[in-house]
Structure 1
C-alpha cells in the first residue's frame, strides 16, 4: 500500500548509501546474503526473548535488503567505464526475493517461540500469517512468470512483476518491528496481520486473473 511512496522517499538516501558501500569486495549479492544472515539472527534472538537485539537486527537486515538493488543499478550504470562489471544478474533478483521470504517466515517463527514459549493454540495466528504469506508468494511469483512469458509485465523497477495489494513490503517491515517492540501483544497483532495479508492474497489472485485473462 505504501511501497511506491516509500521507494520515492528512500530512493535518493539509499542511492547515496549505496555509493558509500560501493567498494571492491562488496557486491549486491553479498548485501543480500548479509541481510539474510542478520534477518535469521533476528529470528533467533526473538526466540530467545532478546527483543531489542531482535529489533535492531531486523531493521539492519531490511536496510541491507534495500541497498542491494541500488548498488546493482549503480554497478550496471558504471559498466561502460568498468568492463569487469556486467549487466545485472537475474540470479541476483531471484536470490533477493527468496531471501526475503526466508527471513519473513523465520521471523514469524522466532517471534512465535519467544512470545508463547511453546507450540499450542497460541501459535495459530502466526501459522495463519505464514499461510497467508505463502499464498501471496505463490500468487505473485506465478503471475510474474506467466506475465513475462506473455508480455504482460508490470514494470515498477523491481526484478519481478509485482501485483500490488493492501499488504506490501513497507507494511511487513512495520508489523514485524511492532511485534518486536510489543511482544506481549504479538498474538493479537498476528491475528490482525493475517487478515490483512489474506485480503492482499485475494486482491493479488483477482488482479492477476484479470490481467492475464
Structure 2
C-alpha cells in the first residue's frame, strides 16, 4: 500500500549508491546474497534477545533489497536475478518470525506460526499471479521496472518493514503486533485472490 509512495523518495539515493557499486564491479546478485546473509544473522540475534542488533541486521537486509534492484537497473535486469531476489525475500520474512519464536517460545510460538502461515498466503498469491501475468504478458503499471509482476495490497514491503521494526522495538508486545499484521496479511491475500481470479477470468 505504501510502496508506491516510498519508492520515489528512496530511489535517488539508492541510485547514487548503486552507481558507486557498479563502478567497482559489484554485481546485483552479489548485493542480493550479501544482504540475505546479513538479514539471516537476525535469527540468532533474536534468539538471544538482542533486539537492537537484530533490528540493525533487518535494516541492512532491507537496504540491500532496495540496492540490488538499483544496481540491476544499471547493469540490466535478469530473470535469474529476479528469481533469486524474491525467493530470498520470502525466506527472510519467515526467518524473522521464526527468530521471535525462538526468543520466547511460550509467548510467541502461536503468533509466530500464525505469521508464517499468513506469509504463505501473501507469498503464494503474489507468485502465482506473477506466473500468470507473465504468461499473458500483463504489465504492472505501478512497478514497470520490476522483473516480476508486482501485485499490490494492504501489506507490501514497506508495511512488512514497519512491522519488523515494531516487533524489535516492542518485543514484549509481539503477540498482538503479530496478530494485527497477520490479519492485514489475510486481508491482502483475500483481495489478491479476488482480483487475480477476476482478472484472469476476464482474459
* TM-score, normalisation: structure 2: 0.93
- Mean CA deviation greater in 27-36 or 150-159: 150-159
Distance in 1 (alpha carbons) for counterparts of 2:57 and 2:179: 24
Residues 34-73 of structure 1: CA distance to partner in whole angstroms, max 9, x if unpaired?
A: 1110111012211111111101111011101110011111
**Aligned ranges 1:35-114 → 2 under 5 Å:** 35-76=35-76, 88-114=77-103
Residues 9-40 of structure 1: CA distance to partner in whole angstroms, max 9, x if unpaired?
A: 11111101112222444110011001110111
Map of 1:200 onto structure 2 = 188
Distance in 1 (alpha carbons) for counterparts of 2:192 and 2:17: 33
- What is the RMSD computed on CA atoms of the aligned residues? 1.3
Structure (1 or 2) with the larger CA radius of gyration:
1
For the 8 Å contact 2:31–2:64, the answer to whether it is kept is yes
Distance in 1 (alpha carbons) for counterparts of 2:117 and 2:196: 19
1:134 aligns with 2:134: no
Map of 2:159 onto structure 1 = 171
- Give SS of 1:167's match: coil
Which blocks of at least 5 consecutive residues in structure 2 are unaligned? Answer: none
Change (3 A) 1:151 1:128: same
* TM-score, normalisation: structure 1: 0.89
**Aligned ranges 1:2-13 → 2 under 5 Å:** 2-13=2-13
- Give SS of 2:180's match: helix
For the 8 Å contact 1:163–1:207, the answer to whether it is kept is no
Which blocks of at least 5 consecutive residues in structure 1 are unaligned? Answer: 77-87
Residues 99-149 of structure 1: CA distance to partner in whole angstroms, max 9, x if unpaired?
A: 1011111011002211x2x3x574112111111111111111111111111
Count of residues in correspondence between the two structures: 199
